[in-house]
Amino acid sequence: MPLYAQISILVILLFLGLIFIDYRVGSATVGESKEGQARRHRHLKKSALLFLLVLILGGIGGGIWYWGQRYSDAYIQVRKAKAQQEMEAMREKLREYNEGLKSVLWSIGYSDGNVNDFDTDQSDDAATVDFTLGDPVIQFPHGLSPASGNQRSEVRVHFSTEIPPNSKLRVRWSPGGTDTEDQFEALLDGESMGKSPAKAGSMPSYTWHMSEFSLPVKEEGGHVISLKHVSGDGLELDYVAVAVGFLRSMPQNPSQWITIQSEAIAGQIG
C-alpha cells in the first residue's frame, strides 16, 4: 500500500477516535436536558467539520505527493533512458574507432591529438626531406614550407609494405595561424593521388584537418609517398597513416569521451 494511503487511514482513525472521545465527554459533562443535548450536538458538529476539513486537506496533500512522486520517477526514467542511449552511442564510436586502428598498416605520429616529437628545426633541412618508415619520429618534419632556400617543401616517406585494396592515405594537418590558404599534394611513387582542400589558418588556436587520399594496389617493394606543399605560407603535419577501409571521421581525442559522457549523465540524473 502506498505511503500516502497508510497516512490517510491513520488520520481517519485518529479523528474518528477524537470524535468518539468528544462525544463521550460531552455526554458525561452535559446533562440530558434539551439545552445540553443541543450543546453536545453543536460540539459534535464542529468536530465532524474539523475532521472533514483535515480529511480534505490530507487528501489534497496526499494527491500532490503521489502525482509529484510519479512525475519525478517518470522524469528520472526518461533521463536515464536518454543517458543510456548516449552511452551506447559512445561505445559504438569507440568500437568503430578501435576497428579503424586495427586496419592501420603503418602510421607516423599520434591520431588522438597528443603532442608529437616531430622535428621542428627546419634550418638544416633541404627542400626535400626523406624519411624511411622505422626512423625515429624526431626526424620527421613538423611541417611543410614554401619552396625557398633550404626550407622543407616536400617530405618523402619510404616504405616497403604492400598496399592492399581499399587502402587510403590519411593526413592530419593544420594551415597554422595566418589567414593565408595552404594546400598540399599527395603522391605515390611519383603519381599524384590528389590535393588537399585549400584551408586558411585561424587564431588563437590552430584548426586541424584530416585529408584522405585513395591509394592503388601495390605489391611489396620500394614505395614512396610524397607530401608536397602547393600554395600558402606553410602548414603543420601531425599524423600520417596508410590504412585499409579507414573511418570517414576520427575523434580529436577519443580518450576524453568517457569522461565527458560520464559528467553529462551525472548532470542529467543528479
How many Cα atoms within 13 Å fall on the side-chain side of residue 134? 5
Q: What is the pLDDT of residue 158?
A: 97
Number of domains in the chain: 2
**Is the domain of 214 the same as that of 82?**
no
> DSSP labels for 125-145?
--SEEEEETTS-GGGSBSEE-
In a domain, 76, yes or no: yes
214 and 137 housed in the same domain: yes
User: How far is it, in rounded angstroms, from Cα 169 to Cα 226?
Assistant: 11
Res 170: pLDDT = 92
Residue 252 lies in a domain: no
Residue 143's domain comprises 104-245
> What pTM, to 2 d.p., does this model score?
0.55
| CB neighbour list of residue 158: distance below 8 Å, 6 or more residues apart | 130, 131, 132, 133, 222, 223, 224
Q: Is residue 113 in a domain?
A: yes
Q: Final residue of a domain: which of 55, 73, 99? A: 99
Co-location of 133 and 33 in the same domain: no
Residues 34 and 157 occupy one common structural domain = no
Q: Same domain for 178 and 66?
A: no
From first to last of its 270 residues, what are the pLDDT tens digits of the chain? 555 565 666 666 666 666 665 555 555 554 556 676 677 677 767 766 776 777 677 667 767 776 777 777 777 887 888 888 888 777 766 665 555 555 788 999 876 666 778 888 877 788 889 999 999 999 999 888 886 555 788 999 999 999 999 899 999 998 888 888 999 999 999 999 999 999 988 766 678 888 999 999 999 999 999 999 998 888 999 899 998 864 444 444 444 434 333 333 343 333
Same domain, 160 and 76: no
How many CB atoms within 10 Å of residue 54? 15
Q: Looking at the domain assignment, is residue 270 inside a domain?
A: no
Pairing state of beta strands 128-132 and 154-159? Answer: parallel
Phi, psi torsion values for 43, nearest 5 degrees: -65, -40
Q: Buried b vs exposed e over 120-137: b needs ≥16 C-beta within 10 Å?
A: eebeebeeebebeeeeee
Give the pLDDT score at 74.
74
